[in-house]
Chain A
Amino acid sequence: MLTLVGEDRPGIVARVATALTEAGCNLGEASMIRLGGNFTIMLMVSGGRSGRELEQVLAPVAADLHLRVHVDPASGGLHSHLVPNIQVRVMGADRAGIVAAVTTALAQTGFNILELESDVAGDAERPVYIMNIQGCSDQTLECIREAVAGLRAQGISVDIAPVETLIG
């Protein structure tokens, strides 16, 4: 699992992918996104190279583009996807502790988060924290709703909805 973070600019993905390809690596599942002016890459790489070798392969690009590189050995293979069946939408006046409160309530039901993205909307005087979570649960909607019901009193709106994946 390769992690790269650096100030966003055009061409990061192209340079990183080219360096890895030229070193004989295969690129797998990836999440790449701009977060607060940084470009972040989390990328599964295979190809029989050690973590140190990968760091060496990427060193010139990383130096050039001021990227921080981190490599973790990971055994995850392809085709181990889980399909989310629950969507959680969260909104509240921005303050410390929203993520902790919501995810703790969810975790207590055994909820498995597959994906979480969040952003701060609104203006500087009244920022609003918005978070979308997709995940898996074998609990009923009612059970999960009950688990997060107490958050409403804290001014956090939490909407729990089923994700019905259509296969056709």
Chain B
Amino acid sequence: MAIRDILKLPDQRLKQVSSQVERFDAALELAIADLEETRLAGPAAVGIAAPQVGWFERVVIVDVSTKKGVANHGHLILINPEIEHWEGFEMGREGCLSVPDYTGNVIRATRIRLRAQDPGGEPLSFEMEGFEARAVQHEIDHLDGLLFIDRVVSRRTDLFQRKVYAGKGGASGGPART
């Protein structure tokens, strides 16, 4: 086991899309152990994604069970995770091991339905909400080359989606008054 270096902004490799895990073998187990050791070595991270340590396969670890009063499924190792269903949206504050000394508000789905595989390749499925759902969305973004800073919104940005009228200028429109 070893603690790996965390890729940090502006490392362009963080923008890379990771590939599916095809081989569920001892090498995968070892790499997962390194990933977990790296997560635990840093500032209290509730999750980590493989590309953050320069490993570009679809593997994430999430564990929000250390947070008081947060619904959770314990320590999760998710291979090839896929969100099948999103519901609701809410704003929450996020930071990232790959973006030191910066936090910002991000809109995420409140509830998700998730499919993944475990390290042995067996199928997993979860329904999750709130902080745990947020953590999973944050980590899966890494697999697609996205960081939370790609999604940060102003606190003044309202949470409601607006219709966009092409060609009228100011695509974001004015505040809805209905």
Q: Name the one of B93, B96, B134, B139 contacting A84, with C-beta atoms under 8 angstroms.
A: B93
Given A117-B155, A117-B156; A168-B139 close (CB under 8 Å): yes
Please indicate the chain B residues that have their CB under 8 angstroms from the CB of A84 in the complex.
Answer: 93
Q: Are A166 and B93 in contact (CB under 8 A)?
A: yes
Instruction: Assess whether B103 is interfacial by the CB under 8 Å rule.
Output: yes
CA distance A78 to B101 in the complex (A): 9
Query: Which of A78, A81, A168 has the largest number of chain B CB atoms within 10 A?
Result: A168
Interface residues of B in 26-85 (CB under 8 A from A): 43-49, 62, 67, 70
Instruction: Assess whether A163 is interfacial by the CB under 8 Å rule.
Output: yes
CA distance A49 to B155 in the complex (A): 33
Instruction: Assess whether A165 is interfacial by the CB under 8 Å rule.
Output: yes
Please indicate the chain B residues that have their CB under 8 angstroms from the CB of A166 in the complex.
Answer: 46-47, 92-95, 131, 134-135, 138
Instruction: Assess whether A64 is interfacial by the CB under 8 Å rule.
Output: no
CA distance A28 to B56 in the complex (A): 33
Please indicate the chain A residues that have their CB under 8 angstroms from the CB of B160 in the complex.
Answer: none
**A-B contacts at CB below 8 angstroms, number:** 56
Q: Are B43 and A167 in contact (CB under 8 A)?
A: yes
Q: Are B94 and A165 in contact (CB under 8 A)?
A: yes
Instruction: Assess whether B153 is interfacial by the CB under 8 Å rule.
Output: no
In this complex, what residue of B is CB-closest to A33? B156
Q: Are A165 and B45 in contact (CB under 8 A)?
A: no
CA distance A79 to B135 in the complex (A): 25
Interface residues of B in 88-109 (CB under 8 A from A): 92-97, 101-103
Chain B interface size, as a band, is 20 to 34
Chain A interface size, as a band, is 10 to 19
In this complex, what residue of A is CB-closest to B101? A79
Least CB distance, B33 to chain A, in whole angstroms: 19
Please indicate the chain A residues that have their CB under 8 angstroms from the CB of B97 in the complex.
Answer: 167-168
Q: Are A81 and B135 in contact (CB under 8 A)?
A: no
Task: Jot down 9 A-B pairs with beta carbons below 8 A, ordered by A.
Answer: A83-B103, A163-B93, A164-B67, A164-B92, A164-B131, A166-B134, A167-B94, A167-B95, A168-B139
Q: Are B44 and A167 in contact (CB under 8 A)?
A: yes
Least CB distance, A161 to chain B, in whole angstroms: 11
In this complex, what residue of B is CB-closest to A80? B101
8 more CB-based (< 8 A) A-B contacts, given A164-B70, A168-B47 = A83-B103, A165-B93, A165-B95, A166-B92, A166-B134, A167-B44, A168-B62, A168-B138
Query: Which residue numbers of B lie inside 8 Å of A, CB to CB?
Result: 43-49, 62, 67, 70, 92-97, 101-103, 131, 134-135, 138-139, 155-156
In this complex, what residue of B is CB-closest to A83? B103
Q: Name the one of B49, B70, B96, B155 contacting A167, with C-beta atoms under 8 angstroms.
A: B96
In this complex, what residue of B is CB-closest to A163? B93
In this complex, what residue of A is CB-closest to B94? A166
Q: Are B95 and A83 in contact (CB under 8 A)?
A: yes
Please indicate the chain B residues that have their CB under 8 angstroms from the CB of A33 in the complex.
Answer: 156
Please indicate the chain A residues that have their CB under 8 angstroms from the CB of B48 in the complex.
Answer: 168
Contact with B along A53-85 (1 / 0, CB 8 A): 000000000000000000000000011010110
In this complex, what residue of B is CB-closest to A79? B101
Q: Name the one of A79, A115, A163, A168 contacting B45, with C-beta atoms under 8 angstroms.
A: A168
Please indicate the chain B residues that have their CB under 8 angstroms from the CB of A46 in the complex.
Answer: none
Instruction: Assess whether A157 is interfacial by the CB under 8 Å rule.
Output: no
